[in-house]
Amino acid sequence: MEGFSIHGVAGCISFFLAEVYRFPESTGYWGGYDLKARLKIRAGNFSVESSLYSSTGELYELFQSLKRCNQDLRGTVKFSNYEHNLTLVMVYDQLGHVDVSGSFSETNEYANELIFVFKSDQTFIANTLRELSAIVDKYGDMKGVKAH
């Protein structure tokens, strides 16, 4: 299954593409192709497994921002899917350490929410970038893949 993970000390976020809609025929409103993903978050003793909706365009933007911050060893990466039930913030320091934080809430009547924080670094993020690069290579940017 296609996807990517952000690993760290006492935490991990895994994002697996379960379905990519209308690929490669037509792109969606949010850029790239709409998708349904399987999400797993573990932070310390807390965890969640759920589905969420996003787009390959949103993943492309995450990849570009993460690649830039990882090269510069500074900056902040912010990601939120179009339903705004997943937020992710990754803050770099100049030593290559990354503070990963965010929240995930299910879109149902209970409004349960997991707020997570864990530490990572550029050595973990290198694998995340390889995994995201494979997704971007296949699905393209905000406009999807070019017709041949």
C-alpha span between 26 and 31 (Å, rounded): 10
Q: Residue 33 pLDDT more than 80?
A: yes
CA 106 remoteness from chain centre = 17
Q: Which residue has the tokens 């000390």?
A: 9
Q: What is the CATH number for 19?
A: 2.30.31.10
Q: Residue 108 pLDDT more than 90?
A: no
- Whether residue 100 lies inside any domain: the answer is yes
Please say whether the beta carbons of 32 and 142 come within 8 A: yes
Q: At 148, is the pLDDT very low, low, confident or very high (cuts 50, 70, 90)? A: very low
Q: Which domain holds residue 84?
A: 3-139
Give the number of residues written for the chain: 148
- Whether residue 147 lies inside any domain: the answer is no
Between 107 and 58, where is the model more confident?
58
Widest CA span of the chain, in angstroms?
48
**Which helix (DSSP H) or strand (DSSP E) does residue 11 occupy?**
strand 11-20
Q: Which residue has the tokens 């705004």?
A: 84
Looking at every residue in the chain, the average pLDDT score rounds to 95
pLDDT in tens, 44-65: 999 999 999 999 999 999 999 9
* Domains identified in the chain, total number: 1
- Whether residue 30 lies inside any domain: the answer is yes
- Whether residue 11 lies inside any domain: the answer is yes
Specify the pLDDT at position 107: 74
> What is the CA angle 118-141-3, rounded to 5?
40
Beta strands in the chain (DSSP E): 3-8, 11-20, 34-43, 46-55, 75-80, 86-92, 97-105, 113-121
Q: At 109, is the pLDDT very low, low, confident or very high (cuts 50, 70, 90)? A: confident
- Whether residue 146 lies inside any domain: the answer is no
- Whether residue 145 lies inside any domain: the answer is no
Total-model pTM: 0.94
